[in-house]
Amino acid sequence: MSKQNNNLPEHPMERLLRMDRIPHIWCSTCGIGTAVSCFISALEKFEYPMDKVAIVSGIGCTGRVAGYIKLDSFHSTHGRAIPFATGLKLANPELKVIVISGDGDLSAIGGNHLIHAARRNMDITVICVNNFIYAMTGGQSAPTTPLTANSSTAPYGNSDPPFNLPLLVGSCGATYVARWTALHIRRLTKSMHEALNKKGFSFIEVIAPCSTLYARRNRLGTGLDLMKFYHDNSEIKHGAPLEELDINFQQKIIVGKFIDKEKPTFVDNWNNWLSQKLGSKFVPYGVAKA
């Protein structure tokens, strides 16, 4: 039975969405909304008080995610979602802080913050929606744009080699690294749930279609065609060596969970080291109040 009238029951995700801001700004066949659906499903399974979960975004299409999620949410400046989240998390260690932002925001202008947060094992989850392009500004090359792909700033094709994001954050010490496409909804949701439960710096790259700019400029059809491409060309290889995770234009995309390990976080290290050095003089930070 299908109901198509106005007396619909509430969409199960409405509890965690700012419904007064829906419909969102993303184009038809954009994959960011799907990544958000998966994230909300993961949040629903996440056994943590939702009052204590905060979302931080940077700038760009994915930068708008924070504004649609009904939690404490911050839409910061371009590239600075991770340091903003670092401040938020350190100021209030009870919070679970999740950064959701785009590939350009996190790995170009925010690249320095990304590697340092991974190095410190800052206890935050970073979800990077990678659509291979700067979409909000009209389709310019990003540090993730595959070689030869067309963008408005690479009108004859991109000659500038892209980042392999899992390799980048993995080599900097991230404790959880996974990559999925927007089509791998169940696995992506599971990964997001694992990352939320992870103590330390967790990173998930979500390959998502951008129909209006990436697909159109590269004559790849719509976002639906990109989803079909992911279906045919992504290969699940858990634990694959990070060096093998390069993404080439319209070629195989290796997805899976690549790193899942335990390591003390920034605050753990602060507390452990200083209590060792300073003994009883030291006031441990962020330890639950007695």
Partner 1 sequence: MQYWRKPLDADKIQVPHGEIHIVRDRCKGCGFCVEYCPRDVLELSKQFNIKGYHPPEAVLPEACVHCQLCEMLCPEFAIFVTLREEVETIES
Partner 2 sequence: MKADPKGVLTGEHYLDGDHACAEGALAAGCRFFAGYPITPSTEVAERYVSRIPMVGGIFIQMEDELASMAALVGAAWGGKKSMTVTSGPGFSLMMENIGLAAMMETPCVVVNVQRGGPSTGLPTMVGQQDMMQARWGSHGDYQIIALSPASPQEAFDYTIKCFNLAEKYRVPVLFMMDECVGHMTEKVVIPKPDEIEITPRRLTKLAPEKYLPYKTNGDLVPEMIVAGTGYKIHSTGLTHDERGYPVMSPGTQDQLVKRLCDKIKLNADDIIEIEEDQTEGAEVIVMAYGITSRVTLPAVFKARKKGIKVGYIKMITAWPFPEKRVRELAKKVKAFVMPEINLGQMVLEVERCAAGQAKTYHVPHAGGWVHDPEDIYQVIEEAVK
User: How many other CB atoms are found less than 10 A from the CB of residue 136?
Assistant: 19
Rule CB under 8 A: say whether 21 interacts with partner 2.
yes
> Which two tokens mark 273?
């080291």
Which range touches partner 2 (CB under 8 A), out of 27-35, 203-211, 244-252, 262-270? 262-270
Rule CB under 8 A: say whether 48 interacts with partner 2.
no
CB 199 within 8 A of CB 216: no
CB 128 within 8 A of CB 205: yes
Rule CB under 8 A: say whether 14 interacts with partner 1.
yes
By beta-carbon proximity to partner 2, the closer residue of 136 and 247 is 136
Angstrom CA distances, 154 to 49, 249, 261, stand at 46, 14, 39
Which range touches partner 1 (CB under 8 A), out of 4-12, 102-110, 256-264, 268-276? 4-12
What angle (nearest 5°) sits at the alpha carbon of residue 107, between those of residues 245 and 270? 100
Least spacing, CB of residue 96 vs partner 2, in Å: 9
Give the rounded distance of the alpha carbon of 123 from its chain centre.
14
Which range touches partner 2 (CB under 8 A), out of 139-147, 225-233, 247-255, 276-284? 276-284
Q: How would you label 45-60 residue by residue, b for 16+ Cβ within 10 Å and e otherwise? A: ebeeeeeebbbbbbbb
Q: Which does 235 bind (CB under 5 to 8 A by kind): partner 1, partner 2, none?
A: none
Taking the alpha carbons at both ends of the chain, their separation in whole angstroms is 54
> Which two tokens mark 135?
């979409």
Return the residue of 94, 160, 243, 244 that touches partner 2, per CB under 8 A. Answer: 94
Which range touches partner 2 (CB under 8 A), out of 31-39, 72-80, 227-235, 251-259? 72-80
**Three-state SS for 253?**
strand
Return the residue of 13, 43, 88, 188 that touches partner 2, per CB under 8 A. Answer: 88
User: Tokens 């094709």 sit at which residue?
Assistant: 157
**Three-state SS for 64?**
helix
Residue ranges that bind partner 2, judged by CB under 8 A: 18, 20-21, 51-52, 54, 56, 66-67, 70-77, 79-80, 82-92, 94-95, 112-113, 116, 266-267, 270, 274, 278, 281-283, 285-286
Q: Which residues bind partner 1 (CB under 8 A)?
A: 1-4, 8-9, 11-14, 17, 22-24, 26-34, 36-38, 41, 183, 185-186, 189, 222-224, 227-228
